[in-house]
A and B are shown apart, each in its own frame.
Chain A
Amino acid sequence: MERTRAILVDITKCIGCRSCELACKEVHGLLKESESKLSPTALTVIEEHGDKYVRRMCMHCEDPACASACLVGALKKTALGPVTYDGSKCIGCRYCLVACPFSVPRYEWTKLVPYVKKCDMCAARQAKGEPPACVEACPTGASIVGWRDEILEEAQRRVLGDAKYVKHIYGSEEAGGTSVFFISDVPFEDLGFVAAPRQPMPALSAAALGDVPTVVLVGGSLLAGIYWITERRHHVAVAEARERTPKQR
């Protein structure tokens, strides 16, 4: 399998300076005003939970629910790792918003030609070998980027090496694994992290979709068979009725 990029956010190291927010807005050409919640103009934000600062952004799932939900394939898991959005395909159904287990995608409700907005992990920058803007801007190294397997190893090393950490890497199992990981010294549920299903989301609808050929074939043949029997019985009934009635010449 090809190696993909991933981001590790160490909540213990974040000082809430919001450099990542601003760098993100700079790179994506968005209004440079700090926002408290994810929005179409804030693709990553720092949320305050007590004295902890939690960065929110797209988790870039390994097998993303949004990409499986999108009927026109506007959302894609790219080979390098980022989950990207192609606005030129989007029809605005907003099923990705419904499907995302982390409730990340945002919609431009106020616009007359609205699109979905979410973090793209700076896919264009990463393709050129540059780090995502948010990671580059982080002064404390709370966010780091690297190859997913190495980043996951690093996260494990930190969590196992220091007793202060909660013994879980958020993103390692959530939604079947993501490309953004969080480690923390406070339980994740206290920091607003959702308990996402620990399985790849597309599998949930794949079973039902897999039934389609069977339903079409079995159902179709069954109906056709029933129709044949009905017709046959009708013919027999008509023929018998003809025999019973005396022939008129």
Chain B
Amino acid sequence: MRGTRFPKVTMWRVIVAIIFAAGLYATYARFALGFSQSTHLTDPQPWGLWVGLGTLCGVGLSAGGFGIAAAVYLLGFERYRPVLRTAVLVSFLGYMSVIAGMMYELGLPWRIWHPIFMWNRHSMLFEVSWCVMLYSTVITLEFSPAVVERIPWDHVRSWYLKQQHRILIGLVLVGCVLSSLHQSFLGGLYLLTKGKLDPLWYTPYLTTLFYLSAIPAGLAVTVMAVYLCVRSLNVKLDVAILGELARVIAPMLALYGIFRAVDLYTRGALPYMFRWREETFSFWLEIALLVVVPLILLNQEKVTRNPQRLYWTCSLVVMGFMANRLNVSITGLQASSGIYYVPKWTEFAATLMVLTAVVLVFRYAVIYLDILPKNAPQRWLAREGAA
């Protein structure tokens, strides 16, 4: 064989190459040089970008999978079925990225299996680690048919698909419970930071708030993923379904906003919302992006009927969600830690590489697997009648 052609150089390929080069250097720095050379983490700020963005946002933004799966399989909302596989794929890749991220953020990552045998049931993190292990397994099994379908051996394929179908409802059910626990427990991790975490964020209801914000954010990611597929991967789908999803996101955000306001009020934390501090700005940025602006936009037909505007609105929700998680994990702890943590570039590089890998795998999965309809437009509305 000769003449293997060099792949065409495009802007996106150059960007991806740069991200991977930087990410690989960051990986080298982390494992060959250590934390002090690859991060700006210190004793007062022991958890930084890798936990705040990689884990808290990675898990939170993967909530779409269990949300849509519950809607389709348990509630019988067949109209969401066309985007089910997309949502499950995003969750699957999200969890894989979280596990990859743990390799960076754990000091002794080769001991990642320790929680399987060394138990401490008083530890929130212990519960979190089991949720990661179990839900990763569940979401892998949930997603597996998309890959197994492509196995050329009829016997193996049909046997596996049949078995998978038999346990599917059980998987979805267990997945819902595990995922709900996991989302809440990530907030629960910060319950121990009483006295350290700023009153704008510290509340005994951190678990509930993390849960309530994860579902709309996860759905927003699903909308964004589906929109991008329709726009650039030649996917043929009735985009009205995105408007359907947005109609669910809005009341969830409203519920979160109300819960948050009531919580701030009952704890007497309202005055903190108006003090001239950096925390206050971060707080309002978060509230504006996550609750206020999306709620205004999602109540306008101009937005809900236009996939592109919907996409940008959902990206606001996602940014607001990320702001919230970073505020809890970094901004809110800054004053008590007494130091000003700015992540080192290698921290960004490693996170960005993992995220880029997720996007790439997602793209090729949509292209090569049966994730979204690619040929005839799907008449998803036609299914309504039967259910």
Which A residues between 42 and 84 are near B, CB-CB below 8 angstroms? 65, 67-74
Of B101-109, B273-281, B283-291, B296-304, the one contacting chain A is: B101-109
Query: A103 near B: Cβ within 8 Å?
Result: yes
25 A-B residue pairs with CB within 8 Å = A68-B120, A68-B192, A71-B115, A71-B125, A71-B128, A72-B119, A73-B119, A89-B114, A90-B108, A90-B111, A93-B105, A94-B107, A103-B44, A103-B337, A106-B43, A114-B34, A194-B195, A204-B194, A208-B207, A209-B188, A219-B176, A223-B70, A227-B74, A234-B386, A237-B386
Within 8 Å by CB of A227, from B73, B108, B184, lies B73
For A38, A110, A201, A205, which residue has the most chain B Cβ atoms within 10 angstroms? A205
Within 8 Å by CB of B107, from A91, A206, A209, lies A91
Given contacts A92-B106, A112-B34, A72 and B192 within 8 Å (CB-CB):
no
Q: Is the CB of A110 within 8 A of B34?
A: yes
Query: A17 near B: Cβ within 8 Å?
Result: no
User: 1/0 contact trace for B94-135 toward A, CB 8 Å?
Assistant: 000000000001111101101100111111111111000000
Q: Is the CB of B124 within 8 A of A209?
A: yes
Report the separation of the CA atoms of residues A107 and B42 in the bound assembly, to the nearest whole angstrom.
Answer: 8
Residues of chain A within 8 A of B352, CB atoms compared: none
Q: Is the CB of B106 within 8 A of A91?
A: yes
Q: Is the CB of B109 within 8 A of A209?
A: no
Residues of chain A within 8 A of B128, CB atoms compared: 71
Report whether over half of chain B's contact residues are helix, strand or loop; otherwise say mixed.
helix
Report the separation of the CA atoms of residues A75 and B105 in the bound assembly, to the nearest whole angstrom.
Answer: 20
Q: B190's closest neighbor in chain A, by CB?
A: A98
Contact-residue size bin, chain A (C-beta under 8 Å from the other chain): 35 or more
Query: A95 near B: Cβ within 8 Å?
Result: yes
Q: Is the CB of B34 within 8 A of A208?
A: no
Q: Is the CB of B181 within 8 A of A215?
A: yes
Query: A27 near B: Cβ within 8 Å?
Result: no
Q: Shortest beta-carbon distance, A123 to chain B, in Å?
A: 19
Which B residues between 156 and 190 are near A, CB-CB below 8 angstroms? 169, 173, 176-177, 180-181, 184-185, 188-189
User: 1/0 contact trace for A192-222 toward B, CB 8 Å?
Assistant: 0011110001101111110010011001100
User: 1/0 contact trace for B27-71 toward A, CB 8 Å?
Assistant: 000011111100001111011000000000000000000000010
Q: Shortest beta-carbon distance, A153 to chain B, in Å?
A: 28
Given contacts A92-B109, A94-B107, A215-B181, A233 and B123 within 8 Å (CB-CB):
no
Q: Is the CB of B76 within 8 A of A234?
A: yes
